[in-house]
Amino acid sequence: MRRDRQSAIVGIMSEDPPKVKVIGRPGSPQAYAIRDFLHRNDVPFEWHPTPGPGAVRCEFHDGTRLENPTIRQISEQLGWFHDRQQPED
């Protein structure tokens, strides 16, 4: 089973509602890194592949949307970092 399909199943079959919707191109290294991060940290998510070029977007259950987010930005949005003043290294 391809990794893209496997990630979509993780988000859909989870008992918890998805906290994040990841929208991006299937071959995108950034989209893969985000999905991998969410999967490894047991964050329920939905993967929505889109054809053609474009930015990776993350939509959160509270309505917040981030375009081309870093892992740090996603972590902050999930509430894992409380001091948002620190720059990402």
Pairing of strands 20-24, 57-60: antiparallel
Instruction: Give domain limits for the chain.
Output: 3-77
pTM above 0.85, yes or no: no
Q: Which residues of 17-53 are buried (b: 16+ CB within 10 A; e: fewer)?
A: ebbbbbbbbeebebbbebbeebbeeebbbbbebeeee
Tens of pLDDT, residue by residue over 2-31, are 444 444 544 444 567 889 999 999 989 999
CATH of 3-77 given 3.40.50.460, 3.30.1300.10, 3.40.30.10, 3.40.120.10 = 3.40.30.10
